[in-house]
Structure 1
Amino acid sequence: MTAETIATTLAAKQPHLLAAFKHIIDQNHLAHAYLFAGMEGAGQPELATWIAQRLFCLHVTAGEPDGTCEECVRIATHQHPDIVMVAPDGQSIHVDQVRYLKSEFSKSAVEGNRKLFIISDAEKMTASAANSLLKFIEEPSGNVTAFLLTTNRQLMLPTIISRTQVIEFPPLPAPVLQQTFEAAGISAQNAQTLRHLTNSLTQAQQLLTDDWLPTAVTQLWQWFQQAVKGDPRSFVAVQTRLVGLAKERDQQLVVLDLIAALFQDLLQLHFQVDAASELSFGQYQSQLTVLTTNLTADQLVTATELALTAKRQLASNISFQNVLEGLTLQLWPIFKTNA
């Protein structure tokens, strides 16, 4: 991706953040550590790359890197010796990878007086790996800046968050995502659900492989209908339907995101916050609307908080099945009195 393409992409995705970092660099106010947090596809890698090219480019014009000089090309192809990039090796970023980072932190720049570190999927650092970064973040030395990129801020250690400047990447505008997904051949209903899960077309297409997402939505809806009636079969459905649906960790996280989105739909309908086109489960709008009329705001807020907590429990190494079974049992008393 050329610098022009990166800038164009950022101008469409995150124009305010692009403008902000142009100003920060012009004023020489770049901090030593940032946490870029947002959905996949929201622009975190693109902004980190643009900053790197802007700082190293040999021919900056009107605050933009030219994208064609030797420095820009090496950055784009991940071959610049003073820009250290680390990504998960498998499911996590291991201690040995962080040891490599720490050794690089202690070294001077090879060709100039500045070094950059870009850590992708930083939420996948093991606890020991993340803790080993704290010394650098607390006591930076030299002209060094680190960018930690994450799609799940909730999984980051609080000590890391407190010692970095957190930059939140807002979701892309719904109409832009809807058009992008539909232009790629994704149905309107699937696109409506997907844009609540990701900003990335690549990830959206992966979730549709073998009709995984439509199947997940159908299975979740069946479980939900039973759970809100306090039906014991919803507890059984966890093992017979949902656990087999999401065997991989990434799929489990998506299922929990879908559950949270389902309860957020209930809140939106109850408070009439958004139009039906904004719902994740728009195909079930009439059933959800009926349900909201029988529930108080406090009940809906409590249920939504439980759904959001489930994802944090999975991150705490509670098994996917136990998380869902616990959520099901907690939902029964909330809904049963109104069944």
Structure 2
Amino acid sequence: MTVEFIENARQSYPKQVGQFLNLITEEKLSHLYLLVGFPQDLKLDFARFLAWQIVGNDHRNAQRIVDGDHPDVHIVTPMTPGTALKVAQIRALTPEFVTRATESSRKVFVLDAVETMTTSAANSLLKFIEEPAGPQLILMLTNNLNDVLPTIQSRAQIVHLQSEQHSGLPEITNDWLQQAQGITFKWVELMMQRQIEAFAYVQAKLLPLIETVTQQQLFFRWLHEVIRDMMIYDYISTEDLKYPKLVGFYKSLRRSYTIDKLVRVSDNILADDKLRKVNISLQSRLEKIVLDTSIILGE
């Protein structure tokens, strides 16, 4: 029986699989790669596949990687979806970074969502990146290259991944991610400021960018993550926020509105799922969110 990540990697990234297998065979593999692209789960499967090729590509090792039970493979992801990689998670790897592989030719480290790393977390990594204790392969994964710290980008070989399984859709490129996320944040800002432009923004800016199901899913994920951050930013550390760069915006909202109003706005936005299930158009749903938010904040 084939372990799922093996088939996912082969089917989603056949070109990159071939390229990396050649690098491994020719012993030309670098020690640090930054894997950029969408979707996140397939990208992580690709990283597992590369780790499997390094430590021994048999079924037993594949299952050990899935179970997190291989001594030479260390996969670190945010502790909960939508949060940041913590400094403590990186520092916990120190004993592994300073020792050699026990069963394989090199150790493999996979760090997911590295765009969420704080400068402090990145600095904890740099020493090990620049002075490895032994043969290592470090795979860093991100959806958006522009959000990755320059100190990481400058030291890595950057590989852009585009899943073959998504080739029939408009490309989810880094440029699209950056543009769509920026427009999403701007729309939220206009809406929370009760600006009339928020209505026009729906048709003029948002709808042309979120035409496919995948794009719409990403948009609503970002929207829900911003709302989550807005409600809890002063209860958790900044590094645990999904979008720490928006803290100034969150603080301005707290100065302008009561917590009760912000909670009601949050509930209103999250209630959109009910509208989706009764087949109301996306434009109508988004315009309703703007209208209801304006009414709540204006009371």
TM-score, normalised with respect to structure 2: 0.58
Equivalent position amino acid for 1:155 in 2: D
User: Following TM superposition, by how much is the alpha carbon of 1:169 offset from its aligned partner in structure 2, in angstroms?
Assistant: 1.1
Residue 8 (structure 2) pairs with residue 2 (structure 1): no
RMSD value, Cα: 4.1
Among 53, 71, 80, the residue aligned to 1:81:
71
Among 111, 123, 129, the residue aligned to 1:131:
123
Provide the residue aligned with 2:48 in structure 1: 49
Say if 1:80 and 1:157 are closer, same or farther in 2 by CA, change over 3 A.
same
User: Following TM superposition, by how much is the alpha carbon of 1:47 offset from its aligned partner in structure 2, in angstroms?
Assistant: 1.2
Provide the residue aligned with 2:191 in structure 1: 237
TM-score, normalised with respect to structure 1: 0.51
Residue 133 (structure 2) pairs with residue 159 (structure 1): no
Matched position secondary structure for 1:43: helix
- Per-residue CA distance 1:168-191 (angstroms, 9 max, x = gap): 1125565645xxxxxxxxxxxxxx
Q: Is the 8 A contact 2:5 2:49 kept in 1?
A: yes
Cα distance in 1, alignment partners of residues 205 and 28 from structure 2 = 38
Among 157, 168, 171, the residue aligned to 2:160:
168
Matched position secondary structure for 1:319: helix
Equivalent position amino acid for 2:65 in 1: I
Residue 25 (structure 2) pairs with residue 26 (structure 1): yes
Provide the residue aligned with 1:122 in structure 2: 114
User: Following TM superposition, by how much is the alpha carbon of 1:140 offset from its aligned partner in structure 2, in angstroms?
Assistant: 2.5
Cα distance in 1, alignment partners of residues 162 and 94 from structure 2 = 31
Equivalent position amino acid for 1:315 in 2: K
Equivalent position amino acid for 1:2 in 2: T
Say if 1:236 and 1:319 are closer, same or farther in 2 by CA, change over 3 A.
closer
- Per-residue CA distance 1:16-38 (angstroms, 9 max, x = gap): 11111111111111111111111
Q: Is the 8 A contact 2:74 2:110 kept in 1?
A: yes
User: Following TM superposition, by how much is the alpha carbon of 1:118 offset from its aligned partner in structure 2, in angstroms?
Assistant: 0.8
Equivalent position amino acid for 1:55 in 2: I
Q: Is the 8 A contact 1:120 1:149 kept in 2?
A: yes
Residue 245 (structure 2) pairs with residue 315 (structure 1): yes
User: Following TM superposition, by how much is the alpha carbon of 1:316 offset from its aligned partner in structure 2, in angstroms?
Assistant: 6.2
Matched position secondary structure for 1:118: strand
User: Following TM superposition, by how much is the alpha carbon of 1:41 offset from its aligned partner in structure 2, in angstroms?
Assistant: 4.1
Deviates more, 1:13-22 or 1:111-120: 111-120
User: Following TM superposition, by how much is the alpha carbon of 1:9 offset from its aligned partner in structure 2, in angstroms?
Assistant: 2.2
Cα distance in 2, alignment partners of residues 259 and 42 from structure 1 = 31
Say if 1:124 and 1:97 are closer, same or farther in 2 by CA, change over 3 A.
same
Identity %: 29
User: Following TM superposition, by how much is the alpha carbon of 1:43 offset from its aligned partner in structure 2, in angstroms?
Assistant: 2.7
Say if 1:111 and 1:42 are closer, same or farther in 2 by CA, change over 3 A.
closer
Higher relative contact order (CA 8 A, sep 6+): 2
Q: Is the 8 A contact 2:34 2:157 kept in 1?
A: yes
Say if 1:98 and 1:240 are closer, same or farther in 2 by CA, change over 3 A.
same
- Per-residue CA distance 1:239-297 (angstroms, 9 max, x = gap): 4599xxxxxxxxxxxxx9x99765669xxxxxxxxxx999x79xxxxxxxxxxxxxxxx
Provide the residue aligned with 1:101 in structure 2: 93
Q: Which has the larger radius of gyration?
A: 1
Equivalent position amino acid for 1:77 in 2: D
Cα distance in 1, alignment partners of residues 250 and 164 from structure 2 = 29
Residue 143 (structure 2) pairs with residue 144 (structure 1): no
Matched position secondary structure for 2:78: coil
Q: Is the 8 A contact 1:10 1:18 kept in 2?
A: yes
Unaligned runs of 5+ in 1: 58-64, 178-191, 199-219, 225-233, 243-255, 266-275, 282-312, 324-339
Cα distance in 2, alignment partners of residues 235 and 73 from structure 1 = 46
Equivalent position amino acid for 2:249 in 1: S
Cα distance in 2, alignment partners of residues 76 and 143 from structure 1 = 22
Unaligned runs of 5+ in 2: 175-183, 217-242, 254-299
Say if 1:85 and 1:314 are closer, same or farther in 2 by CA, change over 3 A.
closer
Cα distance in 1, alignment partners of residues 163 and 70 from structure 2 = 31
Q: Is the 8 A contact 2:77 2:85 kept in 1?
A: yes
Provide the residue aligned with 1:205 in structure 2: none
How many aligned positions are there?
Answer: 210
